[in-house]
Structure 1
Amino acid sequence: MASSMAGDSDDERARWRNENWRAGVERLTRERPHVSTSWLDAGHRLVVTHAREIARLIRVAAH
């Protein structure tokens, strides 16, 4: 999961969106404890900017 899905701006709207995103992920892990999540210090483009780390996390989770 990207830690700052709406970017790292100190803008009130971005801050609210990021907090909302994190709360949603926390809710997911509470309600579906079998779902594995990992936080990456990234934004909305994490699949582009962190592709290798995402691939590594998937490989680890698959074993």
Structure 2
Amino acid sequence: MKNEQEIPKEYCPYCGKNLIRILLEKEQGKYNIQYVNEKVGISNWDSIFAWKCPYCSKTWGREL
């Protein structure tokens, strides 16, 4: 596994919870990735225009 410093961190602007989750070893092997972003994208047919936190359920625009 990479150093803690190499794993990106992204926080909810409202509740401050880290939205990056490190996967378990067996999940890393299965999906060939080490971490996932848990924020939920809100989109129209073309693009994401806002994000939603899965912990506090608040939304914010792409400019934040």
TM-score, length basis structure 2:
0.26
Higher strand share: 2
More contact order relative to length (CA 8 Å, sep ≥ 6): 1
TM-score, length basis structure 1:
0.26
Higher helix share: 1
